[in-house]
Chain A
Amino acid sequence: MSTDYMLWVDDVSVSFDGFKALTNLTLALAPGELRCVIGPNGAGKTTMMDVITGKTRPDSGDVYMHGSSVVLTHLSEPEIAEHGIGRKFQRPTVFENLTVFQNLELALKAKKTAFRSLFSRLSSEGRDRIDAALGTIGLRERAEAPAGLLAHGQKQWLEIGMLLVQDPKVLLVDEPVAGMTHREMDRTAELLISLAGERTVVVVEHDMDFVRGIARNGKVTVLHEGRVLAEGTMDAVQNDPKVIEVYLGQEAGEAKRTSLGPSAETTGAPC
């Protein structure tokens, strides 16, 4: 394994009551890479993020960060976050009883001990960073509104804003555009592309047009039943017979939204 990776998921297996959610999953992310991960429902995409962020302990295998000096799988969730891994959840989770501004304040990169939180006050520099994030996610007018009152798409944005101010080295983004309008999706795509380069970004998404839009010539990983089924450019994986088979099998079922073919035309999701 080359040493210039940012995040390295090494031979990770996870099972839930005998059911293998991940089997010998290996994934290496280069610094500044934007990696899309796709796969049918239940492929293990969210579980992979759970392992990286410490929510789920793998049965075997480890996750390393930056030159194997840090083994993430030995750390607790807050410690992993402190090492620079930020996450956006599949179901948007914001702090509903706090205002948009306060949500961002909590996420803001800072010393996060109880003592500091009790006595420290928001610096003007921190305020500026929150304000900048509010601008980026287009929620400046709603800064004082309780986050629980936001529309679904806005909550997604707020969560992305929380990632921005947390300033992580690696961003794990699980289904960022679910519930977004077409225009919001375009803005999200732009934002994610602009974030990569400085940071490493992993995007899990079912919307193939969206994935094609952000993956460009970068690598796409296809997960299936807890294993890497294929890895390569979007065009390459799309023409991979194994991938086509998996998705065609799906197509026969209900999950139309995972359809790979170019026939799927983007219509704005109702919001």
Chain B
Amino acid sequence: MVSRLREIALTLHSPRRWLGLGVAMLAVLALPALNRFTPAGSALHVADHLVPLGGKFLCYALVAMAMDLVWGFTGVLSLGHAVFFALGGYAMGMYLMRSIGTAGVYRSELPDFMVFLDWKELPWYWHGFQHFGFAAAMVFLVPGLLAYVFGFFAFRSRIRGVYFSIITQALTYALMLLMFRNDTGFGGNNGLTDFKTLLGHPLAEQGTKQALYVVSAIALLLSYLLCRFVVTSKLGRVLLALRDAESRVMFCGYSPFHYKLFVWTLSAMLCGLAGALYVPQVGIINPSELQPSASIEIAIWCAVGGRGTLIGGILGALLVNGWKSWLTAAYPDLWLYFLGVLFVSVTLFLPNGILGALSWRKRSAVLALAEAREAEDKHEPSQPLPRQA
């Protein structure tokens, strides 16, 4: 048993990489530790507000990694991944709303916004969400089911490339419009907010925030290991092959449909998890998370960090959101321009993202690859070969 685990661990990473992973994890956990265990005046102290901010970034990192699984590895560019994130968030938000109980403004069993709309009873789809276990299952099942159904039709019809990206944008837009409506039953414009407790712990307490941060970090780590397991398996190599030469994969006897559907659904469920951890840390979920631009930003995180690496998505999400927090505070009007310039320059100058540029070995391989391609083009076989003596 132990040797089997060891064997699996070594297929995921070399011992050196495991060490690096441990160090990175300690660095991530240092943030809430320094917040908790150092006195407020100390040079090492981390300010209270940075804990939920950091936790939020970890959720973004998880989404970016899930995105990398479908885009970086499988070549399926989704511009609707925020849908799955938001659905996970709404599922958790519904639990948090139900946990408020009668402590709301109107002292009603119903969530405040329903009282405000003069609703007399809970819509059927709100039932069960008072149980944490039920809500936690929905966090995975709802995004997973939507992804499965959507993917089933899209991949079966062999929709690819730009067409796929466009319909995912349409998906997020449609869901946003739906969620904006009051009578959909999810709080409309304002969404779900004013949460009080999670599993009995007051969300306003710093201890709860620290715990949420740690849970987010652990969720990210476990999801990373799961993704690593997927991409280091033979299935992972089929995904890369699909990305590079889909028809060749079919003639090898693999059905792209099942492979794509699997990673697509897995990716959506990871996004759901991220959304569920995000909502109690930011205290609100509303339709603005479903704006088409939200999904595009996720793709930009991946592109900036480096696709097809898992770590790249994480890195990109942390960096871009770090800049965003700083810039939107310092120069609120400039953020969108900055994001645009960032995306264009990464596409032009760092096609493999920051990770690709950092890793010299990889870069030289890419250069060699380009050279080989060039050389190949010189005697492209569609040109008649010189055959005459």
Chain A positions within 8 Å of B, measured between CB atoms, are 53, 55, 76-78, 81-82, 86-87, 89-91, 93-98, 102, 105-107, 112-114, 117-122, 146, 148-152, 162, 166, 175, 178-179, 207, 254-257, 259, 264-267, 269-271
Contacts and interface: CB of A to CB of B under 8 A. Distances in A.
Contacts of A77: 247, 250-251
Given A105-B237, A114-B262, A118-B235, A207 B387 contact: yes
Contacts of A91: 381-382
B375 to A, nearest CB: 8
Given A112-B255, A175-B381, 10 more contacts: A76-B250, A98-B237, A106-B249, A114-B238, A114-B262, A117-B234, A118-B234, A146-B365, A152-B375, A162-B252
Contact of A149 (B233, B238, B258, B369): B369
Nearest to B243: A97
A78 B368 CA distance: 33
B251 A53 contact: yes
B384 interface: yes
A179 B381 contact: yes
13 contacts: A77-B250, A97-B244, A106-B252, A112-B252, A114-B238, A149-B365, A149-B372, A151-B375, A166-B252, A264-B388, A266-B387, A269-B379, A269-B386
A119 B233 contact: yes
A141 B164 CA distance: 40
Nearest to B247: A55
- Which 8 pairs across A and B sit closest by C-beta, in order of nearness? A178-B381, A81-B253, A77-B250, A117-B235, A265-B389, A78-B255, A118-B235, A95-B241
A112 B259 CA distance: 10
Given A95-B248, A117-B234, A148-B369, A78 B385 contact: no
A160 B133 CA distance: 54
A113 B387 CA distance: 45
B118 interface: no
A122 B379 CA distance: 36
Tell me if B's interface is mostly helix, strand, loop or mixed: helix
Contacts of B379: 152, 179, 269-271
B240 A98 contact: yes
B115 to A, nearest CB: 47
B333 interface: no
A175 B244 CA distance: 22
B253 A112 contact: yes
Contact of A89 (B241, B248, B369, B382): B248
Interface string B368-381: 11001101100101
A260 B135 CA distance: 74
A111 to B, nearest CB: 9
Interface in B193-248: 230, 233-235, 237-238, 240-241, 243-245, 247-248
B384 to A, nearest CB: 4
A105 to B, nearest CB: 7
B77 to A, nearest CB: 17
Nearest to A53: B251
B367 to A, nearest CB: 11
A136 B93 CA distance: 61
B323 interface: no
Given A78-B250, A81-B251, A207-B387, A148 B373 contact: yes
B238 A81 contact: no
Interface residues of B, number: 39
B326 interface: no
Most chain B beta carbons < 10 A, residue from A107, A114, A271: A114
B106 interface: no
A95 B148 CA distance: 27
Contacts of B387: 207, 256-257, 259, 264, 266-267, 269
A180 to B, nearest CB: 10
A114 B235 contact: yes
Most chain B beta carbons < 10 A, residue from A93, A97, A151, A259: A97
Contact of A78 (B237, B254, B372, B381): B254
A222 to B, nearest CB: 19
Contacts of A152: 375-376, 379, 381
Contacts of B259: 114, 117
Most chain A beta carbons < 10 A, residue from B243, B262, B376: B376
Given A257-B387, A264-B387, A90 B381 contact: yes
A167 to B, nearest CB: 11
Contacts of A120: 234
B381 A96 contact: no
Contacts of B241: 95, 98, 106
Given A78-B255, A82-B253, A106 B384 contact: no
Nearest to A55: B247
B259 to A, nearest CB: 5
Given A81-B251, A162-B252, A179-B379, A150 B372 contact: yes
A267 B235 contact: no
Contacts of A150: 372
A188 to B, nearest CB: 14
B372 A255 contact: no
Contacts of B386: 267, 269-270
A259 to B, nearest CB: 7
A269 B382 CA distance: 13
B251 A254 contact: no
A106 B259 CA distance: 14
Interface string B270-295: 00000000000000000000000000
A241 B210 CA distance: 87
Contacts of B385: 178-179, 257, 269
A149 B237 contact: no
A90 to B, nearest CB: 7
Nearest to A90: B381
A96 B308 CA distance: 14
